[in-house]
Structure 1
Amino acid sequence: MTAKRLLILAHAPSPNTERLREAVLAGAREIVGVEIVMRAPLEATPADALAADALILGTTENLGYMSGALKDFFDRSYYPCLERMQGRPYALYIRAGNDGAGARRSVETVVTGLRWRAVQEPLIFRGPWREEFVEACRELGMAMAAGLEAGVF
């Protein structure tokens, strides 16, 4: 039996967002038996998404929208993935300087079209930086990998 694959697809343009992405990765790596793949959205391909059994999406809030990098990934991957990834589990985290609602809505619009399945409410890290954002991302990575490993999704 081959290991399940978790794709972490996260835009990290700053040291703090890089810390969030690295925390997701560290948490996911705590679970043995799951292959973890991390890609920046501008480097990721439709094949990366198609090979994943679950995804964690990370984005910044940019002018009330998802990051341009994540949008670019969706633009390049939407049709290659459309009919082949229905029901795929995903989770989302957003680093939002404001409320994150527009970024959440923009991602959820795309994943609804793809018919992916959210496995938890998005994590939205609002306002000034707080260290507890890092721990929440570590827990997210661990929970997604554990869910895959246990066959929950």
Structure 2
Amino acid sequence: MLPALSSSPRFRSIVSLCFCVFFVISGGGSGETFAEEPTPLVKVLVTYHSRSGNTERMAEAVTEGAKSVPGTEVMLKRVGQVTAEDLFSSDAVVVGSPVYWSNMAGEVKTFFDNWQFKFGVFPEFKMKNKVGAAFATGGQLSSGKEVTMLTILAAMLGNQMIVVSGGGAFGASATTEGDSPGIDNKELADARTLGQRVAEVAKLVRGHSAR
């Protein structure tokens, strides 16, 4: 029975059809794959205010660190350029400021005020469970950089965000004057470390929420 079946035209047609289907699925032996391009798993927004360029350099280093984590898309913008779409579509937000009188710059404070008055994050807490982090630059060693980062993190905590540190106890910081004016390589490395950790934690949070 089996030899007769294998020689029948209908049997040969079925075998040929199965082979063609397998050939197409496997890419025709050409090495091509039909998998779609992977989309970024997480989006990180790095935003800052800078007049002298020091905080901007730190922001660029934070961006580099975040980009080093596979599956991460990073947007770098000044605080005055951020839109509601930028904010709400991000999985993580890293905010940087120079120290003005031991506190964040007025432009950065206005940015946080806009979360409510311009972007309407409350009462739905639209930033809830997004990852947040801070970085700062100041002229002197004890010029208020930690206070500045803490006020940024406090604004994030008030919005029920998940805050993380990296590069330092409260975030990354740089001293821009004194014996070594400007930002040194270690401070830039700390900023990259912060960006990397933010992206890594954002991936963990995004992966957990997708379950």
User: What range describes the TM-score normalised by the shorter chain of this pair?
Assistant: 0.7 to 0.9
Pairwise CA distance, 1:26: 1.4
- Give, in whole Å, the separation in 2 of the partners of 1:139 and 1:23: 9
- Corresponding residue for residue 87 of structure 1: 129
The higher radius of gyration belongs to: 2
Q: TM-score, normalised by structure 1?
A: 0.85
Alpha-carbon distance change, 10 to 87 in structure 1, aligned in 2, over 3 angstroms:
same
Q: Note the C-alpha offset of 1:69.
A: 1.8
| Identity rate, percent | 23
Where does structure 2 lack aligned partners over 5 or more consecutive residues?
1-38, 207-211
Contact kept in structure 2, 1:78 and 1:114, CA below 8 Å: no
Equivalent residue pairs, number: 152
Which 10-residue stretch deviates more, 34-43 or 115-124?
A: 115-124
* RMSD between aligned residues: 2.1
Q: Which residue number in structure 2 is paired with residue 140 of structure 1? A: 194
1:42 partner SS: helix
8 Å CA contact 2:132–2:153 kept in 1: the answer is no
Query: Which TM-score applies when normalising by structure 2?
Result: 0.64
SS of 2:100 mapped into structure 1? coil
Determine if contact 1:99/1:126 at 8 Å carries over to the other structure.
no
**Are 1:104 and 2:115 matched, yes or no?**
no
SS of 1:18's equivalent? helix
Query: Do residues 34 (structure 1) and 72 (structure 2) align?
Result: yes
Which sections of structure 1, spanning at least 5 residues, go unmatched?
none
Higher relative CO (Cα under 8 Å, sequence separation at least 6) belongs to 1
**Rounded Cα–Cα distance in structure 2 between residues aligned with 1:125 and 1:6:** 22
